[in-house]
Chains A and B, each alone.
Chain A
């Protein structure tokens, strides 16, 4: 579970171009559910996901992660919620690497290397043996039907295939939470539906999935457990919360 309490993110504080991307947001993201952040461009969805995904720190407020296992947060403490708001960068990176899997709007795959290497990329600095995560990467590529492109450079792949490689990459370190930012922005309706089917697979596998989207195919999906509306950095509505 992820708990946000009065989270605000302000950029360029004290400068003439200061602006608040996320303004006093409090919400709960339930474990094992699909939560969708819905809203127009500039509504603060991406910033909120970056804060949750330990990519940035809030200017104020608290973000707590429950049931997170890290190398620095062990023993009896591991059952207590972990406040990530003021953790040093090194710890945030570890949480980002082990707890979250990211699917970006532009896919953010590295050109010139194979699809398989792209999938393995988040695992390289973990210190795990390459044989182990290579096997896992191939299994994931098999699951998402891109195994035949394992050796191909990513430039050769279609939009849908790139999307699937990006999903496989997000799952290589077996994260508990998957974050996807506008995942269907570059896909046609058919591929968008396929993507939602894959999200269904992830959800069925027990993953917590958080998607930011203004695509009705996503936020109107039957799979969505919670849909949070956003505008101007604030929450405007909440639906489907059980």
Chain B
């Protein structure tokens, strides 16, 4: 019985047979195409996963951070500011925070030093991130010597290590007591790095920030939403390195598709003529080329996406880490939580599968519109 389904199935069958007889050409096309999809999909997965990690970190961040600015630069803030800020209507709590950076000349690495909000550690004890442990080759129970601002060594005992699951946040972290922090940096009395402000009602945050800025013109309130936006713009499509890699991949794809679009060989043209002369309609020839395009591009898309998934989520984006993870010495070693953005994958699908299929069909259409008697005359 004649059915449209049979027609599709027969022509698909012939399309596969057609692809197989130009094995090496089509296989190399498939490899190049898969590679391009792999690079773009890896970027999408990687950036999405990093954005998610960033969002997770910021979930724990305070609603607002108030920093003092001197000559346009971040400076220490008096704890007394906090008392006046907590009196503003809508503010639930204000916590002074102590944190800073320490450069280890011996190992050439930068560490982040942080005093926890709650008094978790005795003076002389620290907790360190896995990156610091690797860099210093130390573990729990070992001693770590840091040089204070007065050039005196401060010996600290590693009480514990942060688990590797939190490595993205804690890799370069050294958590210490307020007393040890003071010994390290010798801050003026009554001054802290910044103030963490909690505002219960999210709708009031902007108003509270405006009031703080008015009350203390030398401060800069930073909202959590602003931090999220910064992370977003850092990792989104337009972000630095990503745009370069993406542009190269897209450009390769355009060259590739263009080559394909203009590359209908004399043999392929002759075959189209034969098909027309033996009773194939132009639409049948286009259907054949459509299936050929779909088979190559869909296979490349699926294989590329699966490989990219493995690369990013099982091998921690090994090909990108040095370029994109951003640490100079302490590279965090972490497994990203799988995140799939259906919208971006759909965009990738339409940007790759459709143009390639169109690039396959258009030259075939130009050839298929020749009169069928041309084959008889060849």
Chain A residues packing against B (C-beta within 8 Å): 46-47, 49-50, 55-56, 89-90, 93, 96-98, 100, 102, 104, 106, 108-113, 117, 121-130, 169, 173, 181
Contact = CB atoms under 8 A, between A and B. Distances in A.
Interface of B: 1-4, 6-7, 9-11, 13-14, 17-18, 21-22, 267, 271, 274-275, 277-282, 284, 287, 371-373, 375-378
Given A104-B375, A112-B21, A93 B6 contact: no
18 contacts: A46-B376, A50-B373, A55-B277, A55-B373, A56-B372, A56-B373, A93-B372, A97-B278, A108-B278, A109-B274, A113-B18, A117-B14, A124-B10, A124-B11, A125-B11, A125-B279, A126-B2, A127-B2
Contacts of A124: 7, 10-11, 13-14, 280, 284
A150 B375 CA distance: 24
Contact of B4 (A46, A127, A173): A127
A130 B13 CA distance: 10
Nearest to A126: B2
A125 B10 contact: yes
A93 B278 contact: no
A98 B37 CA distance: 44
A111 B267 contact: yes
B274 A96 contact: no
B277 A108 contact: yes
Given A113-B21, A130-B10, A125 B372 contact: no
Minimum-distance CB pairs A-B, first 6: A97-B279, A112-B21, A127-B2, A50-B373, A55-B373, A125-B284
A182 B6 CA distance: 35
B90 to A, nearest CB: 72
B3 A106 contact: no
B371 A127 contact: no
Nearest to A133: B10
Nearest to B273: A108
A111 B21 CA distance: 9
Given A125-B279, A125-B281, A126-B2, A181 B10 contact: no
Contacts of B22: 112
Given A128-B6, A130-B9, A130-B10, 19 more contacts: A50-B373, A50-B376, A89-B282, A90-B281, A93-B280, A93-B281, A93-B372, A97-B279, A100-B279, A102-B278, A104-B277, A110-B275, A111-B21, A117-B14, A125-B10, A125-B284, A126-B2, A129-B1, A129-B6
A50 B375 CA distance: 10
Contacts of B275: 110, 121
A108 B372 CA distance: 12
B279 A173 contact: yes
A169 B21 CA distance: 20
Nearest to A57: B371
B295 to A, nearest CB: 16
A7 B371 CA distance: 19
A163 to B, nearest CB: 16
Nearest to A129: B6
B17 A117 contact: yes
Contact of A93 (B18, B267, B279, B376): B279
B372 A127 contact: no
A104 B267 contact: no
Contacts of B371: 55-56
B377 A46 contact: yes
A97 B280 CA distance: 7
Contacts of A96: 279, 372
B10 A110 contact: no
A68 to B, nearest CB: 14
Contact of B7 (A104, A122, A127): A127
A100 B4 CA distance: 22
Contacts of A111: 21, 267
Which residue, of A50, A89, A90, A117, has the highest number of chain B Cβ atoms within 10 A? A50
Given A102-B278, A169-B278, A181 B271 contact: no
Contacts of B1: 128-129
Contacts of B287: 125
A208 B267 CA distance: 32
Contacts of B21: 111-113
Contacts of B14: 117, 121, 124
A183 to B, nearest CB: 13
A111 B265 CA distance: 14
A110 B276 CA distance: 12
Contacts of B3: 127
Nearest to B267: A111
A108 B375 contact: yes
Contact of B2 (A50, A102, A104, A128): A128
Which residue, of B10, B13, B375, B378, has the highest number of chain A Cβ atoms within 10 A? B10
Contacts of B267: 111
A133 B279 CA distance: 15
A108 B274 contact: yes
A107 to B, nearest CB: 10
B8 to A, nearest CB: 9
Nearest to B375: A108
Contacts of A125: 7, 10-11, 279-281, 284, 287
Contacts of A121: 14, 275, 278
A89 B377 CA distance: 19
